Structure 1
Amino acid sequence: MELDTKLVHAGYEITAASGDVVPPLHLATTFEQRAQDDLRYFYGRGENPTREALERCLAALENAAHALVFSSGQAAGATALSLLRPGQRVVASDDVYGGTFSLFKTLTKYDIRVDYVDLTDLAAVTEAMADDVAMVWLETPTNPLLKVADIGALAELARRYEALLLVDNTFASPVLQQPLAHGADITLYSTTKFIAGHSDVIGGALVYNDDSLHGEFFGYRTAAGNIPGPLDCFLTHRGLKTLSLRVERQTRTAQHIVELLRGSPKVGAVHYPGLEEHPQRHVVERQMSGPGSIVTFEYLGDVQAMMNRCVLFACAVSLGSVRSLVECPALMTHRPIPEQDRLRLGITNNIVRLSLGIEDPHDLAKDLTDAL
């Protein structure tokens, strides 16, 4: 099946028992063992049919053996980091999401160090690698400057040092980028964003092929209890069915908005993977099927006043929703990162990030033009 068909059909087959054309919502916390022909379900913290239907669909989208879903993207990340042991090291993207930075800070108490490197610079990554590196943590495109790193080259480098390559694919979604196909060991998603797509359910996911990783992750999730509830899984799976349609529309709108921004005297630098002058344009063309719908730009004025003038763009964190959002990373999503580190990366108080929704692009353009 092609991806668009998998989005609708993967993970669930209509059964003769009821004929439901969508996966039913199983709210039970515990299961009668004597009633099961195949004894599979014991307790909802470990197993749930609604959750498993979503997981099968997510795995199918990347042709993967396994997927597990979690109560948030942070919970998925924490589960991946549970593989690490004292004395080991993580090499991570230098401009990671602020929540990821906060998650990494918790590792210091376990004697696990995180080194932040520009992962688009293979020479710098090679210099940072050593035998104590257990994981390379990659965001691509990065948040918020939209740098794009070469997954295949980093996967080869990680294998050389017997390290795992984890790719946070939240910005691209499986529609635009398939990390496992390029050699990554683990794909991470905040399913809150594009996958669920409606700003009404929080969740996360890990997608991978290795059976031993599956045993570790499933055991950790069951013990820690960082599971999503059945209703959350149902809503996420429902949102997933329109992912391709939404991403296609959002990407077209983003390209329209980029041209508007580039023509405005109130705008400085514009960051977008679809630009010809994007510094990793050759990687974008080889690795992604489209540039996506996140646009970051420098506003040459009072950012807070500009955001306050927006009407259709909600001033809110998060992204990937059917509704367009505007935020200032330095003041919002990336506030946990020390100011000197933000400034070194170019994340100033004048940097604005847009997440384009599915509204009419002309209405969005007028709203943004008025705000600028």
Structure 2
Amino acid sequence: MEEEWDLETRAVRAGIHRSAFNEHAEALYLTSSYVFDNAQQAADRFTNREPGMIYSRFTNPTVTAFQERLASLEGGESCLATASGMSAILTVFMGLLQAGDHVVASRSLFGASVQLLSGILGRFGIITTFVPLSDLAAWEQAVRPETRLFFVETPANPTMELVDLTALAALAHDRGVRLVVDNCFCTPILQRPLELGADLVVHSATKYLDGQGRVLGGAIVGSMALVMESPIYQFLRTAGPSMSPFNAWVCLKGMETLALRLEAQCARAQQLAQWLEQQPGVARVLYPGLPSHPQYELACRQQSQGGGVVTFEVKGGQAAAWNIIDSLQLISVTGNLGDTKSTLTHPATTTHGRLSDADRANAGITPGMLRLSVGLETVRDLQRDLERGLG
């Protein structure tokens, strides 16, 4: 029956397994471990001869419900929940890579992802080549015999650059490489990378899946063979970058309103992007839903809407950008996004502040760039708040 449900229905109903009490709301299982009927059952559970709960580092009913719901939304066979978005990315890399392997990644990535690839994995003999996200020829030229993964965000944080996932997946598979896509900005409501050829999708559940800035969480979605029957699952089971049952429950409930929130946030973002284009203090607006976006046609094919994040660059550089931030009275100044409360971030000095000047320039991040995550406030109130700093 679930295969016939629309996405909005899956966001509410998928992953429900009622206990003996037959509760209506999803139960929260706050337990570290589980009681076995006898020694044989314990032995069989620990050696995977019998299915069932073992220890909440890697098995928990509430976490399982979250995993099943997100897998259903993404169209994946399996999902593995993690403690954060970054721990999801780390778990993929630790599960699928080893010393001597090579990764090709977009140079337009979240700052922590760049640090993980270049500053941490590089110390263990894993080499990364960063290429322009939308330049397919650059991806092809970067492939080596030891290349194992392509890693992308689309839209990219914060430049809103896109890549043609169908074309990139075809290129990756032609060279025997797996494609991993960070789908944080779109969520499966707006974009389903697995249907476009990706092998794995990663999420920061902290963002839109929770949707109210309450908890941290992450997830990996893909085939059963690649997620649960591979070293990815074994890394989580052993090292424990696990999602807590409470955080899973919060994100599980957050997903119930995911489609409704995104519909409202996308509509507000579209209006704000159009308004920002008309402001004399704004040099450019980067939003996939605008015809002025350099990849507008691709966005129309690949995404159902433009998304809830609008990036814009102001005239006057960092001083002008900071003036807007310091003039705010409504919009929150914070590094999070995907919240019901609108947030504004200066990427060059926060989320991407640890990158070198050269790396930020290569990623297209300028001193005057601001990233606006649009919440559920009225467009007029958000405009009034931004007008204070825009002059």
TM class by shorter chain equals over 0.9
Deviates more, 1:206-215 or 1:175-184: 206-215
1:130 and 2:144 are equivalent in the alignment: yes
1:93 and 2:97 are equivalent in the alignment: no
Q: Matches of 2:329 and 2:254 in 1, distance apart?
A: 25
Q: Which structure 1 residue ranges, 4+ long, deviate > 3 Å from structure 2? A: 35-39
Q: Matches of 1:353 and 1:160 in 2, distance apart?
A: 36
What is the RMSD of the two structures over their aligned residues, measured on CA atoms?
A: 1.5
Q: 1:354 — aligned with what?
A: 372
1:141 and 2:190 are equivalent in the alignment: no
Q: Specify which of 69, 72, 85 is matched with residue 57 of structure 1.
A: 69
Q: Is this contact kept in 2: 1:33–1:41, CA < 8 A? A: no
Q: Matches of 1:11 and 1:210 in 2, distance apart?
A: 16
Q: Matches of 2:303 and 2:35 in 1, distance apart?
A: 46
Q: 2:130 — aligned with what?
A: 116
Q: Is this contact kept in 1: 2:108–2:364, CA < 8 A? A: no
Q: 1:31 — aligned with what?
A: 34
What is the CA-CA distance between 1:315 and the residue it aligns to? 0.8
SS of the equivalent of 1:27 reads: coil
Q: 1:249 — aligned with what?
A: 264
Q: 1:307 — aligned with what?
A: 325
SS of the equivalent of 1:257 reads: helix
Q: Is this contact kept in 1: 2:166–2:196, CA < 8 A? A: yes
What is the CA-CA distance between 1:39 and the residue it aligns to? 5.6
- More helix as a share of residues: 2
Q: Is this contact kept in 2: 1:326–1:353, CA < 8 A? A: yes
Q: Specify which of 169, 173, 177 is matched with residue 155 of structure 1.
A: 169
Q: 2:278 — aligned with what?
A: 263
SS of the equivalent of 1:330 reads: helix
Q: 2:12 — aligned with what?
A: 8
Q: Matches of 1:44 and 1:195 in 2, distance apart?
A: 21
SS of the equivalent of 1:171 reads: coil
Q: Specify which of 346, 359, 363 is matched with residue 345 of structure 1.
A: 363
What is the CA-CA distance between 1:26 and the residue it aligns to? 0.4
SS of the equivalent of 1:59 reads: helix
Q: 2:186 — aligned with what?
A: 172
Q: 1:366 — aligned with what?
A: 384
Q: How many residues align?
A: 371
Q: Specify which of 36, 40, 45 is matched with residue 57 of structure 2.
A: 45
Q: 1:185 — aligned with what?
A: 199
- 1:320-331 to structure 2, matched below 5 A, reads 320-331=338-349
- Cα distance, 1:284–1:212 mapped onto 2, change above 3 Å: closer
* Deviations, residues 203-255 of structure 1 (Å, cap 9, x unaligned): 10000014144222221101011111111111010111100011110011011
SS of the equivalent of 1:318 reads: coil
1:336 and 2:354 are equivalent in the alignment: yes
Q: TM-score, normalised by structure 2?
A: 0.92
Q: Matches of 1:203 and 1:212 in 2, distance apart?
A: 20
SS of the equivalent of 1:85 reads: coil
- Cα distance, 1:92–1:39 mapped onto 2, change above 3 Å: closer
Query: Unaligned 5+ residue runs, structure 1?
Result: none
Q: Matches of 2:58 and 2:254 in 1, distance apart?
A: 24
Q: Matches of 2:58 and 2:265 in 1, distance apart?
A: 36
1:22 and 2:25 are equivalent in the alignment: yes
Query: Unaligned 5+ residue runs, structure 2?
Result: none
Q: Is this contact kept in 1: 2:221–2:227, CA < 8 A? A: no
Q: Matches of 1:222 and 1:345 in 2, distance apart?
A: 35
What is the CA-CA distance between 1:13 and the residue it aligns to? 3.8
What is the CA-CA distance between 1:67 and the residue it aligns to? 0.3
Q: TM-score, normalised by structure 1?
A: 0.97
Percent identity (aligned)? 35
**AA aligned opposite 1:101:** V
SS of the equivalent of 2:272 reads: helix
Deviates more, 1:300-309 or 1:226-235: 300-309
Q: Specify which of 296, 300, 307 is matched with residue 292 of structure 1.
A: 307
Q: Is this contact kept in 2: 1:303–1:352, CA < 8 A? A: yes
